Structure 1
């Protein structure tokens, strides 16, 4: 395991260097693009009779459980790091906007994509049961603006647009995991859960996760307040994240929502009342580095994952339709409400376009797809998810900065 981790870190460091030195794309997009090109070149070389590189890459990727690595390892750290730098006071000013987009928007997106995909597939030769279509809707709905937020900052996008996008993504990850778990339980259970059971599961998962995050966050705050030594305080935050996520998994509540709530408490209450300037600087630096390193590794893994997938002409054609479907659904659930009720959302004119086009799909979607039970339907869902994510990161991610610049310039 240590050898595999060392290999991936070395590969990530090399690709990050090549991107920074020669390519110049935003970090996450750049390393993913280079990794994807390497995988495609290996596949081309394999078709020409040179098998050694593809065999090595395939064996390397098969040694990694992508879903387990992200959902049980990286996700807790990434979500806490993201929430740690969100200003809770500013977040409260846009609380109902973020809540409506993250909760109502994600739920509607799941239903619209699931039902629409099922309808589209009836006109193709690709088979996918209705439950799997809903599962796809749940796992593809959360946004992952890791890459796009850097672009928005460099383009000088309005801070309130940045805030709404980051706030939405932090919470819709948790909401999506809850919805995914709910639909997956319908797939694996012999009985269809009733409305009361669904409501109870949502309360247990979402409410329990938020409550657990609040409790652990407050305990961490008290511990940080009682000492002044950045070495121990950094260690406390790291232990709280890893231990808290493990506890959330054990008691079956939403770990992602717990991490977000805990990050908001430590990043705001802890920062203002429990940390010295030196501690704050070291805590911020530590979690920024964790965030950057894990994001780079995650996007390299996404780029290399293509070597394990199988695509047919039919699947590629359906994927093109699904990409348009996800974009249209994002427009309906986010772009249209923001555009129609712009004064209520209190965002600059044209923000609906950035929120729609900037709703990137990322690693959590791929990880959820890979966690499905092994079978033909899983392979279809994984391949469709991967193609949507690649389009989202490479095409939307590299062009959303221009939209953000237009808002800044008032055009």
Structure 2
């Protein structure tokens, strides 16, 4: 996509409708009502834009999704950076709200006040999450109502429920419009202040600054959802948004992220203004890139690399704490989440790993008992949903 075409699309976004001269093939996604549509309607209308467009199309879509989930709601007396407002996603259910309770979540426009990190197995094993009084790098997973309702209605919030689900089904197939996101926070202390321009929030127990956000949106189902381990056809749209001054982020974006098409600052400003988000601080964040399949162009050769320097620090080397010096970054949202799966015969989830590139039935990892588990030996796909493996009890 050329800058000229992008400017035309941004004009459509701003005006809310397209003149005949602006009747672009993207209008179903970017035309009137893109901000107000339901999540299901937006995802369905934007599927072709996401999966048939170029990198610049996808970068624009990442910003549009970012703007939608960050619509501001009132949080009197607090809010991000003392604004009295917070993003909509901070009122969505977290992993503990979904998997660690039998009490139904009540959707409202009220932001939570407590930090609810997802103590995922991959982090617990590496000693990266403190679950008692978290004061380090904390990650919260949130989901919209479409995602939450599907998990609850299909009893996919417990191991027993998952076992029962797979007596009648061969795969999980999340609904179009489902959104899963993960936020990365770091506590503000005297020795570790929030960087200039970063958004902060006063959770109970301390102030935290917001380091970034993973976003995954289900845009369409696969023709054969049972083949999602290996199928290069896209279904989820992935982006990861990071604070622009995170240490080493420029190096990682320039050297490792494979599918980037950064928008000019004036286009970002125009989109944020259209979305009613100007001046809040979101302009200090940006997508590292986007991903829709395992490999570039679905050719099965060059892996797509996408990740966040804090949330996927385990994929960078040497010295995971210093992204500015990394010589390797083996992060791939689509490939990593693709291995989220369950074996109905053994009741085991496939071990967490960090693959990049196309998978095959012989892909394997060693589990906690030292047994080598092969993806092709009875594992059924969880539709890229690691929380089903990490959080169910």
Quickly name the TM-score band, shorter chain normalised.
under 0.3
Higher helix proportion, which one?
1
TM-score, reference length from structure 2: 0.25
**TM-score normalised over the length of structure 1:** 0.24
Which one has a larger percent strand, Structure 1 or Structure 2? 2
Kindly indicate whether structure 1 or structure 2 has the higher relative contact order, using CA contacts under 8 Å at least 6 residues apart: 1
